[in-house]
Structure 1
Amino acid sequence: MKLRMPNTFVLLFALLALIALATWLVPGGQYETTLVNGKKLVDPNSFRYIDAKPQGPVALLIAPIKGFVEAGLIIGFVLLVGGVFNVLHKTQAIDALIKSVAKAHTRSALVRRAVIPVFVTLFSLGGATFGMAEEAIPFVLIFIPLALALKYDSVVGVAIPFVGSQVGFATAFLNPFNVGVAQGIAGVPLFSGIGFRFVCWLIFTALTIAFLLWYAARVKRDPTLSPTYALDEQRRRELNLAEFEAFAGMSGTHKAVLLLFAGALGLMIVGVVQFGWYIEEIAALFLVLGILVGLVARLSADDWVAAFLQGARDLVSTALVIALAKGTVVLMRDAHIVDTMLHALAPLVQSSSPVFSAQKMFLIQSVINFFIHSGTGQAALTMPIMGPLADLVGISRQTAILAFQFGELTTPMIPTSGITVGVLALAGIPWATWARWMLKLQAIYLVAALALLAVPHLIAWQ
């Protein structure tokens, strides 16, 4: 009898139950914080044990709704963007774009070679510069059908925007949300060390592209090798790929809608980089985009609302998965065990060699990332400790920041990340299926990170 992995909801609730059990075994702890230049910093010498707050069955059952409330912004963003993208889908402009690229892919060897490298690089650049993370979620709705039309699979469709943006975020050279915050807390000049960080970004982006090209070529030769083969066969039937051959080209309305979409993306980048936009402003931008698209495509008010509501309705399960994932963090925080775990991990960085210290710091940050996968939040919690600790173990604070960044390379795989489980729920891919596929790429990232963390000591990188 073949064993079946439980679905994402079951896995996350089981994780919630394990965390609730851990709150009875792990003592409570707390670091004191001080406000410096408007930032709440942790005093690394202030840890003390406090009364534990074990989380019982009631807290376990309340955690999902608390997670829903605390993840309200991203949940609202996902529902709104899902509605807007369904309005876009109603215009068939995205379908027309996909059919155009698919036909060009068939006719041009250059396009065939360029699709994955170009798009992965663009998404990775977004993560490395303006911190693209949640913003990549809606692109899954575009790249899955595009990947299927190009005879790849849903995994490739998810990996291009999601893994691309996440690897860029984790190896960023100008990202204000992790590099900027971490350097500010560690007392390092803002965006200093950009040269070596840029090299790291290039290496990790190239490794991601090479892996995806290798995998895409395999599933194109033999689709049965895909872990989502059955799902993709159903999706291909729904796509009606015969239409691609008969496609005559995009209409003026299609082009206008796509220009609006491209303009909105450009404005989003400017807003994030220049004006500090976050989820609220980006969500509002997408809402305006949806309204303008409806006007250009001459959709009636009833048709527009029906399309929007259907798109939001399709993502209700995604919203619930995000809430459940956020509930895991709520349980640990309410039990006061997050700081205790950090306090226990910090001494493990000590080593006889600065290179090993940097590598161990990376491994510890990877563990912390399982519990705290916000770049800003993790920097605020760990860098006040890891920064001074770097001085004690003989590595530069720049290296400690790089180790913190590399710890986020696990985000595309961990089930406690709302972005990860949200993307997978949107794509209809079980977490266990995705995790098995990601293992090879995670192993590549691990080796590359360990190797690159040996370089700063050798070149005296400050």
Structure 2
Amino acid sequence: MEKSNARKKGWKSFLKIPHVFVLLFLIVLAASVLTYVIPAGEFDRFEDPETGRTLVEAGSYEAVEQDPVGIFEIPGLFITGLNEAADIILFIFVVGGAFQIITATGVFDAVVRKATALLGNKEILVIPLFLILFSIGGFTIGMTVEGMALVPLAIALARSLGYDAITGLSMVLVGVYSGFISGLLNPFNVGVAQGIAELPIYSGLWLRAIILVVLLLAASVYIIRYAQRVKKDPSKSYVVEMEQNSKIDENLLGSSKFQTRHYFVLLSVVLGLGVLVWGVMNRAWYINDIAALFLAMGVVAGLCAKMNPSRIAEEFIEGAKAFTLGALIVGVARAIPVALEEGLIIDSVINGLANMIVMLPAALQVLGVYGAQTVINFFINSGSGQAAATMPIIVPLGDLIGMTRQTGVLTFQLGDGFTNLIFPTGTTLMAYLAASGVPYVKWVKFIWPLILIWFIIGAVFIVIADYIQY
């Protein structure tokens, strides 16, 4: 009997979902195996003299000598991945440290308690309001990783209302991507794709605006239902262990009221975020600039709270330390596309999918393009990078199958967008998970039904676009 029980425990232990590093290693291993299976090939590339972007030359694909990733090369893939993701990793450490300084001032706790009192019995409205707010950043300046810095505040607010960390995380992450995916004025996916397709920049905005509204409605209903379920029964949370630990920390905070120093700290944060929006829109700031800004925000906030320099340094180190696992996950995940690039099979995947689309029945070809973009997004997670690699192929392919170029851009933007919230190759997703402390496996369990709903919504809009010759 004891042996039987021991055997059962052994199987349960074996079948238990492994650590995220183990999952990512298995994916890297699978990607390396694919470099032996998928024929190597490359497109010719050229530099666009007007934009300076490197584009793929349609119809130029040719097979090249196979160069598979060897078993002894796999450790090097992780080092290369960490190196290529160095800017994101540094960003995570700096933002984590800066926000720990701000958190230590007590301002977030004071803001959360004030917001809770003002919302009263309409507290559930915080979810759609946050989604709308962050979607604006997504569809205007193409905000993605920039919103990560506000995740701790969103989680603190969600917990104060009786929800959990996943609710707070999704209020920011899903909101940002609702705007980014619809892409009304997004310069990184729609702007680049329309430029390559020789369409007026930001043309066809009306349909994308409708898509934004539908995505926000679907996301609001989905997240609200989950949040209400968690509030009614905390054991229904996908991160219940994490929440139990957080409650212990929150009890230590005690009551917190606004003091004069809190107003100065809050002013420094608000001014800093204003500078962030200005820098991104007018000076094309990206990772390094934003990291420097948040570092300055943290130091200024600490000084406003009358912390001495040593205390500020200690809080920064404590915050950066808490983000170590998440930062490393970003670099390890980057090893997946590195394996595919070094094995020279990414272009083969793109070319193979394009050939399959042509063979589909006419009624399914536009959906075939949509599905192909979704698959390619696993291999090329960058929106602008995917546009540069695939739009030069989609444009002539669309002309061949009777798909308008505007519809081609739409299939690209939706195919590129939805799975950014679930594919482990997405460094932005991994950065958000690092900021929240939510395990990747738990996030997938929460988000996959919404991704499926969004994917179906996208398919419906693409069929409509094709039907009306959008």
**TM-score normalized by the length of structure 1:** 0.95
Deviation at 1:241, TM superposition (A): 8.3
Whether contact under 8 Å (2:366, 2:466) holds in the other structure is no
Looking at structure 1, the residues matched to 317 and 300 of structure 2 have their Cα atoms a distance apart, in angstroms, of: 17
Deviations 1:244-291 (Å, cap 9, x if unpaired)?
xx44x3112112211211221122112112221111211121122122
Q: What does residue 238 of structure 2 align with?
A: 227
1:298 maps onto 2:306 in alignment: yes
Deviation at 1:180, TM superposition (A): 0.6
Deviations 1:18-43 (Å, cap 9, x if unpaired)?
11111122221100011122221111
1:272 to 275, 280, 285: 280
1:435 maps onto 2:438 in alignment: no
TM alignment of 1:169-318, pairs within 5 A = 169-240=180-251, 243=254, 246-247=255-256, 249-318=257-326
Gaps of 5+ in 2: 1-8
1:92 maps onto 2:103 in alignment: no
TM alignment of 1:20-169, pairs within 5 A = 20-36=32-48, 37=50, 38-105=52-119, 108-110=120-122, 112-169=123-180
Q: What does residue 392 of structure 2 align with?
A: 384
SS in 2 for 1:433: helix
**TM-score normalized by the length of structure 2:** 0.93
Q: CA-atom RMSD, angstroms?
A: 1.6
1:323 maps onto 2:331 in alignment: yes
Deviation at 1:242, TM superposition (A): 8.4
1:340 maps onto 2:348 in alignment: yes
Q: What does residue 431 of structure 2 align with?
A: 422
Deviation at 1:138, TM superposition (A): 2.4
Looking at structure 2, the residues matched to 42 and 96 of structure 1 have their Cα atoms a distance apart, in angstroms, of: 53
Deviations 1:316-374 (Å, cap 9, x if unpaired)?
211211110111111111111110111111122234435x3222211111111111111
Q: What does residue 4 of structure 2 align with?
A: none
Deviation at 1:114, TM superposition (A): 2.0
Looking at structure 2, the residues matched to 222 and 80 of structure 1 have their Cα atoms a distance apart, in angstroms, of: 36
Deviation at 1:174, TM superposition (A): 0.5
Specify the code of the residue in structure 1 equivalent to 2:239. Answer: T
Specify the code of the residue in structure 2 equivalent to 1:374. Answer: S
Q: What does residue 457 of structure 2 align with?
A: 448
Deviation at 1:429, TM superposition (A): 2.5
2:419 to 382, 390, 410: 410
Whether contact under 8 Å (2:373, 2:412) holds in the other structure is yes
Whether contact under 8 Å (1:63, 1:327) holds in the other structure is yes
Q: What does residue 3 of structure 2 align with?
A: none
| Mean Cα deviation higher: 386-395 or 229-238 | 229-238
Percent of aligned positions that are identical:
34
Gaps of 5+ in 1: none
| Mean Cα deviation higher: 362-371 or 416-425 | 416-425
The number of residue pairs the alignment matches comes to 454
Deviations 1:394-422 (Å, cap 9, x if unpaired)?
11111111111111211111112122223
Whether contact under 8 Å (2:272, 2:293) holds in the other structure is yes
Specify the code of the residue in structure 2 equivalent to 1:12. Answer: L
Looking at structure 2, the residues matched to 250 and 20 of structure 1 have their Cα atoms a distance apart, in angstroms, of: 55
SS in 2 for 1:142: helix
Looking at structure 2, the residues matched to 145 and 113 of structure 1 have their Cα atoms a distance apart, in angstroms, of: 15
